[in-house]
Amino acid sequence: MKIPLYNLTMVSLLCMINHAAAEVIYSNLKNISIPNTFDGVFVDVDGGHEQSTTTFTGWDINPFIGGKYLANSAAFQPARNGVDGIDSVLKFSTGDTIDSGLNYAVGRGGSLDHLGNAVDQFQSNIEGYLGFKLNDNYGWMRVVLGGATPVIRDWAYDNSGAAIVVGGLQQAAAVDGVQAVTLTLGAASALADTGGNISRLVKTGDATTTLTGTNTYSGTTTVSGGKLLVNGSITGAGAVSVASGATLGGSGTIAGAVTVNGGILSPGASIESLTTGALTLNTGSTFVYEMDSSAHSSVAADFQKVTGTLTLSGSVNLTLSDVADSPTAFAPNTTLSLINYAGVWNHGYFTYAGNQLTDGEVFTAGLNTWQIRYGATSGGLNFATEYTPPSGSFVNLTAVPEPGSLLVLGCLIGSGALLRMRRLC
């Protein structure tokens, strides 16, 4: 199975990114006003007491005079253009990386004026990002400093000490009680709805985003661009849709129904398995299936597990590729399971190389001739431990002898026997 990444919370949304042990903690959309006073607002970035107009134990950052000046604790050190506490604070943009290669320092009693005319400084009333080091962790904070409405919008940090990409996710304000988190960069996180204010997740852009861990948000998921890998789980029942030009993959579990509308469904990121709710592949969609003729039979090919119905509507493309460094033919009678579905099949078919593959069809792909079955009652060799017991049906590929071999054999044993062999059960 694959490996996990985003937890989405709505009213007090915690978003976690997981590169192995890494977790990116997301603040949720805060929009904390910065008063135009010397007290300003005190914010605790990683604690339960998030903000106050008076100082308290555990505060991290205190912007005041409308955000023109900044005080910070020893634990929270903004990225600066030098190592002195009075050096100017740098402004970052989405896509920049915050890591150990930057300069950090403790402020000196709030004497830092970080609004100026330099290109790397904050301009009054212009949104930008602070980079920061929080103890030994790195993060970003989206702010508007100075101007009529200075505000801290949100922040995120990686609690493993790994580098973090600025602005990898954005959460919009609620509209009719629904909030949306948009993943715009190749970030990884875990999203959890903890406030009951159900949200939706939107994947945009060309990058690959990986969700790990347990993602408990219950709204819909839309993959409108790039690739979304679900290597953890999405436990909510919200539907998942994949648009044309976008890809859904991963090695995890998606509880909701998945509909591919001209996009790509590609289990795993290599030879792996993906579990979803009911699966619909509409016309123009592609099911990408990878095999490895050099691997052990248990992991010789991808596997798609469907806990509901299987619908193949219109012309649904099937691509087959052998990822082995030196591909070899699979042995005759080798059976690989493309899909295991617990519900019914609508009797739609895949199309391979422009030809529709009806049930029992024999076709050549790579170094093998295969027969496809859509309603097999038993699975193949790959990922057999994940099959749905005791019921469930399978879409299988079985390696059969080359047509020329069948013809020779038919000449020896008679045309009646040959006719029966053309469709193997």
Question: How do residues 159-182 score in pLDDT, each as one tens digit?
Answer: 889 898 887 666 666 666 666 666
- Check the CA dihedral 348-351-352-358 and report its sign: positive
Whether residues 120 and 205 share a domain: the answer is no
Kindly report, residue by residue over 253-307, the tens digit of the pLDDT: 999 999 999 999 999 988 999 999 999 999 999 999 999 999 999 999 999 999 9
Place 187 in a pLDDT band, splitting at 50, 70 and 90.
very low
Q: Flag whether 346 is in a domain.
A: yes
Q: What average pLDDT does this structure show over 42-47?
A: 91
What is the C-alpha separation between 182 and 3, in angstroms, rounded?
A: 21
**237 & 302 share domain:** yes
* Nearest to 69, CA basis, from 33, 30, 91, 40: 40
Contact 373, 359 (CB under 8 A): yes
Give the model's pLDDT for residue 219. Answer: 82
Based on the fold, state whether residues 184 and 73 are members of the same structural domain.
Answer: no
Q: For residues 270 and 184, state if they share a domain.
A: yes
Q: Are residues 292 and 375 in the same domain?
A: yes
Residue by residue, what is the 3-state secondary structure of 322-391? ECCCCCCCCCCCCEEEEEEECCCECCCCEEECCEEECCCCEEEECCEEEEEEEEECCCCCCCHHHCCCCC
Regarding whether 389 and 301 lie in a shared domain, the answer is: yes
Query: Rounded to the nearest 5°, which phi and psi values hold at 411?
Result: -65, -30
Evaluate whether 36 touches 65 at the Cβ level (below 8 Å). yes
In a domain, 14, yes or no: no
Confidence of residue 183 (pLDDT cuts 50, 70, 90): low
Domain boundary among 124, 146, 165: 165
In a domain, 336, yes or no: yes
Enter the pTM of the model. 0.66
Indicate if the pLDDT at residue 59 is higher than 70: yes
Residue-wise over 360-398: b if at least 16 C-beta within 10 A, else e? ebbbebeebbbbbbbebeebbbbbeeebbeeebbbbbbb
201 vs 253, higher pLDDT = 253
The Cα 277–Cα 305 span in angstroms is 8
61 and 133 part of one domain: yes
Same domain, 124 and 270: no
On whether both 196 and 312 belong to a single domain, the answer is yes
Picking from 120, 144, 165, the residue at the C-terminal end of a domain is: 165
Which of 165, 190, 217 corresponds to the end of one domain? 165
Number of domains in the chain: 2
Task: Kindly state whether residue 227 falls inside one of the protein's structural domains.
Answer: yes
Q: What span, in angstroms and rounded, lies between the C-alpha atoms of 168 and 234?
A: 19
**Does the residue 76 lie in any domain?**
yes
Name the residue range of residue 124's domain.
30-165
Strand-pair partners of 394: 340, 376
Q: Residue 45 carries which DSSP code? A: S
3-class secondary structure per residue, 210-231: EECCEECCCCCEEECCCEEEEC
Residue position matching structure tokens 């029942």: 237
Average pLDDT over residues 142-162: 89
For the chain, report the end-to-end CA distance as a whole number of angstroms. Answer: 30
Specify the higher pLDDT residue, 180 or 8. Answer: 180
94 and 207, same domain (yes or no): no
For residues 248 and 153, membership in a common domain is answered with no
Q: Are residues 148 and 182 in the same domain?
A: no
Q: Say how far apart CA 408 and CA 249 lie, in whole Å.
A: 43
Token pair 């005079």 in the structure block, residue: 65
